[in-house]
Amino acid sequence: MQGLGCEVIAFDTQPDPVLAAAGVTYVALNDLWPAVDIISLHCPLNSHTHHLINANTIAQMKPGVMLINTGRGGLIDTRAVIDGLKNKTLGYLGLDVYEEEGDLFFEDNSNRLLQDDVFARLLTFPNVVVTGHQAFFTREALTAIANTTLANITYFERGELTRMCLVN
């Protein structure tokens, strides 16, 4: 985003000194919501981040904010996001992930009726783009996944289970 001329403001429980040195400003999470025009989620899903984006956090955001989620579907409360789109607090939404994506994104459903009413509602907005869990599908990401898998097999074969690799 800096390459596009944007000032980058971030929240992280463990700020990265390399990013800070590159000009990324770290702020408290509650200070982030009203300060930014674009929110891009890059965090794991756990008990602290489940529905990180919800009615309360959306109410704190600038009107017209763009929300992008390429992390995990459960980071956002989809019904609250729909309300935010309807009341125009959220101006744009980009989703590569969806909380109930298992039955939607991994097989050809083009000849079936869509059974997920919440997802169907998302698709009615002209300012919503859903890419169907494709953000990982780059040469670099697939190479990293393959390398991690091969390293883990090697560690397992050697009995070095404590050296297992993890990729977010």
What does the domain layout of the chain look like in residue ranges? Answer: 37-133, 138-168
Tell me the pTM. Answer: 0.75
Over the stretch 99-123, which tens digit does the pLDDT of each residue have?
766 565 556 656 666 666 787 798 8
Write the CATH number of the domain with boundaries 37-133.
3.40.50.720
Is the pLDDT at 5 greater than 60? The verdict is yes
| CA–CA gap between residue 68 and residue 91 (Å, rounded) | 11
Over the stretch 22-80, which tens digit does the pLDDT of each residue have?
999 999 999 999 999 999 998 888 999 899 999 999 999 999 999 999 888 899 999 99
Active site residues: 72, 101, 133
| Helical ranges in the chain per DSSP H | 17-21, 29-32, 55-59, 78-86, 117-122, 139-157
